[in-house]
């Protein structure tokens, strides 16, 4: 999942919460959206989250590029989609201290599922009380039609290839097969969906909890076209429904009264404030306009906030990196020696420890630490002398004749700090100069997806807990590759890994693929994310999650009397 300004993993085990949330008595089942009982305090050590709001309020870092779950790929849109839609399975409340990695998801629209002996066929049993926000039943046919929509040739979605794991899904998507009945998706009846995969995929239940696999109301989509996601048209099936959207301002989510588990959804109304400037997010939090900062905090402000009881840091399954556009074979960036030289001229330790105040983990490879994974690849070591030699071998001794490239990043203070430090390093170590280009999220995404950039910052949060969520995006033609890079050996290793039933041999294929990515690929990993956020100490149900998925349906605010006691 492409990210704007959030954070990820720092430690291999467990979630670090520097300040524990204050103990709060169990709620009485009362739905309190705001903090009406709080003492009204302003900025300073004792500021109280949300005292100035009437409903539960959180921030998102940009206008969603789209609210169509089949087409989206970014963090701002994902934060909304996880709340207004629901898949066969759903993200669980936490990823911390789970004995079984499969427990990261819980039953969603499907109350249960069966797996065939060969591990390829899943039979999902849907809840008879699953409903769309208009009251219509959510059926197995809705899932089949939605998945067929994403697999239709030329569908404009970055994550189409996730569904290629389905038998004949790739062939149908690429137009090589026209008979849908041969694709491994079949709605047996309203409550039974049978899915046959190309090969056994243990993380498939986690995949169907991801938004690309969510159902959409196809009839509504066909009626309204791209306007179907507007508040006046949208029909969704999650715990909440979108009732208002003011671009560049906010979105209003209201409890979906038809949701199958509506009786256990406590927060009735929530507002997502769209705030691109993360300093403005902190200011909004200090003045009581937010209960949850959403985005990771500005590095410059974290030191002053770390002692506040609302400050939380949690490792996440993600990597911050730079990507090169290698689509033009005449560009110096298409030369692996040039990319290696630029990589070796970057002091990642300095970027992490000094520029970013040691808040993140230095990336030793591209795939971050996770269960059942051991990286054998090494990110290029900082070696300015060797970098100058490589650049000279490529024909640019002391940077002479090297074109002045643009470095693209989206609006965010932390990204700017990194970009300015990178600019200084390349000029000092290689004599290479770059222009810094700062664009808002939607334009940034558009430029990256159309290869309208030279070098760009990027962040990737795993969509499921398996190394393939990081590695498959660099395969030839993947919708999230967006670099023009292609490597036959890399593609072959990924194919072998997909078809390999033995876990150890599968691991070795993936390890070698990551080694190739580091040796001649189009990226430079910088650090593993952590999420440094502010979240109300009075918010129950907000638990550590390594993919930064925090569903409103799991949360509740303590009532006014409890808040008064906690703040006295």
Q: Are 230 and 376 members of one domain?
A: no
- pLDDT per position as a tens digit, 122-153: 999 999 999 999 999 999 999 999 999 999 99
pLDDT of residue 100: 73
Contact 526, 346 (CB under 8 A): yes
d(CA 35, CA 288): 9
Q: Are 329 and 202 members of one domain?
A: no
- Please report whether residue 339 resides in a domain: yes
Q: Are 258 and 330 members of one domain?
A: no
- Please report whether residue 213 resides in a domain: yes
Taking 80 as the threshold, does the pLDDT of residue 9 lie above it? no
Give the number of other Cβ atoms within 10 Å of residue 376's Cβ: 13
- Please report whether residue 363 resides in a domain: yes
d(CA 256, CA 109): 14
CATH code of 159's domain: 3.40.190.10
pLDDT of residue 233: 98
d(CA 207, CA 214): 10
Considering the entire predicted model, what is its pTM? 0.81
Instruction: Give the mean pLDDT of the chain.
Output: 89
d(CA 296, CA 294): 7
Q: Are 357 and 262 members of one domain?
A: no
Residue percentage of the chain with pLDDT more than 70: 90
Structural domains in the chain (count): 2
Q: Are 126 and 241 members of one domain?
A: yes
126-130, 427-431, 470-474, 501-505, range with the lowest pLDDT: 501-505
Q: Are 234 and 348 members of one domain?
A: no
pLDDT of residue 315: 84
- pLDDT per position as a tens digit, 382-401: 999 999 999 999 999 999 99
Domain containing 206 equals 62-274
- Please report whether residue 8 resides in a domain: no
Q: Are 319 and 230 members of one domain?
A: no
Residue 146 dihedral angles phi and psi, to the nearest 5°: -70, -40
CA-CA-CA-CA torsion sign (459, 463, 464, 469): negative
- pLDDT per position as a tens digit, 329-353: 999 999 999 999 999 999 999 999 9
Q: Are 433 and 322 members of one domain?
A: yes
* 64-67 long-range Cβ contacts below 8 angstroms, 24+ apart: 65/441, 65/442, 65/445, 66/229, 67/229, 67/234, 67/242
């Amino acid at each position: 999942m492409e990210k704007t300004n959030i954070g990820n993993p720092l430690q291999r085990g467990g979630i670090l919460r520097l300040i524990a949330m204050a103990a709060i008595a169990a709620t009485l089942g009362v739905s309190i959206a705001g903090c009406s009982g709080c003492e009204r305090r302003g900025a300073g050590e004792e500021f109280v989250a949300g005292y100035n709001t009437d409903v539960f309020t959180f921030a998102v870092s940009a206008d969603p590029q789209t609210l169509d779950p089949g087409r989206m790929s970014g963090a701002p849109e994902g934060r909304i989609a996880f709340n207004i839609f629901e898949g066969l399975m759903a993200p669980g409340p936490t990823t911390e201290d789970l004995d079984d990695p499969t427990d990261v998801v819980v039953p969603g629209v499907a109350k249960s599922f069966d797996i065939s002996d060969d591990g390829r066929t899943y039979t999902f049993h849907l809840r008879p009380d699953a409903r769309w926000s208009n009251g219509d039943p959510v059926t197995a046919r809705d899932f089949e039609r939605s998945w067929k929509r994403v697999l239709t040739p030329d569908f404009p979605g970055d994550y189409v290839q996730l569904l290629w794991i389905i038998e004949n899904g790739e062939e149908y998507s690429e137009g090589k097969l026209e008979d849908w009945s041969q694709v491994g998706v079949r709605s047996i009846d309203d409550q039974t969906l049978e899915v046959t995969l190309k090969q056994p995929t243990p993380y498939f239940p986690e995949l169907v909890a991801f938004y690309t696999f969510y159902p959409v109301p196809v009839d509504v989509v066909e009626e309204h076209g791209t306007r179907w996601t507007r508040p006046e048209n949208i029909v969704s099936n999650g715990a909440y429904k979108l009732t208002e959207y003011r671009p560049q301002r906010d979105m209003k989510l209201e409890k979906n009264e038809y949701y199958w588990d509506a009786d256990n959804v406590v927060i009735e109304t929530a507002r997502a404030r769209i705030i691109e400037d993360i300093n403005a997010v902190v200011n909004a939090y200090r003045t009581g306009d937010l209960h949850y900062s959403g985005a990771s905090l500005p590095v410059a402000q974290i030191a002053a906030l770390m002692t506040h009881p609302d400050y939380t840091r949690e490792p996440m399954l993600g990597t911050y990196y730079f990507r090169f556009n290698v689509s033009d074979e005449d560009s110096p960036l298409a030369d692996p020696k040039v990319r290696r030289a630029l990589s070796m001229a970057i002091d990642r330790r300095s970027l992490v420890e000094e520029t970013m105040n040691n808040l993140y983990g230095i990336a030793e490879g591209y795939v971050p630490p996770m269960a059942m994974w051991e990286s054998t690849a090494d990110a290029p070591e900082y070696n300015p002398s060797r970098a100058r030699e490589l650049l000279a071998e490529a024909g640019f001794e002391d940077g002479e004749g090297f074109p002045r490239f643009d470095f693209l990043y989206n609006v965010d203070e932390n990204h700017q700090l990194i970009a300015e430090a990178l600019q200084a390093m390349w000029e000092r170590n290689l004599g290479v100069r770059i222009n810094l280009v700062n664009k808002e999220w939607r334009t940034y995404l558009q430029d990256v997806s159309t290869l309208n950039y030279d070098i760009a910052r990027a962040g990737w949060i795993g969509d499921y807990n398996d190394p393939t969520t990081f590695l498959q995006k660099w395969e030839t033609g993947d919708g999230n590759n967006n670099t023009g890079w292609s490597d036959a050996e890399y593609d072959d290793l990924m194919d072998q890994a997909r078809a390999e039933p033995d876990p150890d041999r599968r691991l070795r294929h993936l390890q070698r693929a990551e080694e190739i990515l580091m040796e001649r690929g189009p990226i430079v990993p910088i650090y593993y994310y952590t999420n440094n956020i502010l979240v109300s100490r009075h918010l129950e149900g907000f638990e550590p999650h390594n993919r930064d998925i925090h569903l409103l349906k799991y949360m509740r605010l303590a009532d006014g009397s409890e808040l008064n006691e906690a703040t006295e």
